[in-house]
Amino acid sequence: LSPEPRPALPQLREQFDPALTVVDSLDEAELYVRAGLKPHSSDAETADAIEQFVARRFAHDLGVIRRQNDWVAWSAGIVIWKNLAFTTRPDDMLKSRRGLCSQQAMLMQALLARFGIEYATVGISAPPHMMVGAKINGKWAVYDPDVEPLRTRTIWYSEMSDPAVMHQLYRSKPGNPPFGQGEDLGEQMARAARDGVDGQVQHG
């Protein structure tokens, strides 16, 4: 079997930094984040640092398992369906430079757990998207390392139902064509806010 040809990395406005691909395990990712924190950093500062690491570590695309890690899943992904090689373990994810929203969210959650921060999954159905909730000072904040919204402050879960906030966060980013031809992501996410978002708490 020969590997399926991979397309070039998507030309998106991302923070992806190829130099960070040397961080290839969850232990190393934790050490990297800790090294950048000040002593006694708050949970908010820690969650921000984790989000930044994940955003810079991955380019948006399907992350698949490497042959040397699981040749059965790798082969099934080539021969049958690429999603059969979809990585879900943090250490496997960190062997790739690519990750979809769900993969980046799962890795961020694994790192939040390492720092003792309670986390949740925040999902949107149209356009389909997965984000991360983190409990900060008793309130749920929302993080999105994959799409990298234009945020300058903590975004609280309670704000996710405000179309104006969602439009501001995701404006000018490429929209998902099946969910609105000619629309940018800000317009689509504003409509999703009006339709409602889903949150499911998962204790780390």
Which DSSP state fits 2? -
pTM above 0.85, yes or no: no
> pLDDT, tens digit, for every residue of 60-79?
887 665 555 554 443 544 44
CB-side exposure of 184: number of CA atoms within 13 Å? 11
> pLDDT, tens digit, for every residue of 121-159?
999 888 999 999 999 999 999 999 999 999 999 999 999
pLDDT band per the 50, 70, 90 thresholds, residue 198: low
Mean pLDDT over residues 188-198, rounded? 85
Note the pLDDT of residue 199.
58
Name residues whose C-beta falls within 8 Å of residue 181's C-beta, 6 or more positions apart in sequence: none
Whether pLDDT at 97 is above 60:
yes
Note the pLDDT of residue 85.
53
Note the pLDDT of residue 72.
45
Bigger pLDDT: 1 vs 121: 121
Pairing between β-strand 119-125 and β-strand 128-136 as defined by DSSP bridges: antiparallel
pLDDT band per the 50, 70, 90 thresholds, residue 179: confident
Note the pLDDT of residue 177.
85
Whether pLDDT at 197 is above 80:
no
Whether pLDDT at 168 is above 70:
yes
Which of the given ranges, 12-21, 44-53, 75-84, has the highest pLDDT on average?
44-53
Which DSSP state fits 86? B
Note the pLDDT of residue 88.
82
Closest residue by Cα to residue 68 from 36, 89, 52, 92: 92
Mean pLDDT over residues 161-187, rounded? 91
